[in-house]
Amino acid sequence: MELSWVTVDTPLPSGAMKFGVTADGVAAATYAGDVFAGRPVGVPECEDARKRSLVENRVGEYFAGERRELGLPIDWRFATGPHLTVLRCLLTEVGYGRSITYGELAARSGVFEGQAEPGIPARTVGQMMGANPLPLLVPCHRVVAADGLGGFGGAWHGVEVKRWLLTLEGVLPPTLDWSGPAD
């Protein structure tokens, strides 16, 4: 696997993000992970100045409020089958400044047609979002529970990262301690 990493400082509560790049595009991203696909995150560092610059600039512009979509090439190698179908549906149908519930995404994706047990599609989509190999690029932060934000990763900062991103995109109103870009 020819995966190398670009680290980009962010204003998120989790700190810097790391993006795994290949010859085909960005294949992985993590908010604060130490291991991805059984290998240490960040090793080896990307030495391709063009790829590094593209990722750093696009991500920086997004967090500065200057870009609504990252527009980076995506390498889908870590998502397959129904997971890939749901992630592609999310990417194409839920744009900046919008959100969708887990159940609505399940229905829209078409993956769960014929599922008779209520609640299973929404819970399964929640698990798929938790296993999203491309957070931020494939905006799983835009997928919320029917009765609130829902979860966002297992780390201490997960829901705060989700809240921060939804505030940046205008889905949630800023709080008094908002640290994002000024309008």
Catalytic residue numbers read: 140
Tokens standing for residue 183: 């309008």
Tokens standing for residue 144: 């919320």
Exposed e or buried b for every residue in 138-149, given b needs 16+ CB within 10 A? bbbbbbbeeeeb
Which residue matches tokens 């993956």?
111
Q: Where are the beta strands (DSSP E) in the chain?
A: 4-8, 17-21, 26-30, 35-36, 39-40, 100-101, 143-144
Tokens standing for residue 58: 């696009």
**Half-sphere exposure of 103 toward its Cβ, with a 13 Å CA cutoff?**
8
In the chain, the N- to C-terminal Cα span, in Å, equals: 42
Rounded distance between C-alpha atoms, residue 2 and residue 168, angstroms: 33
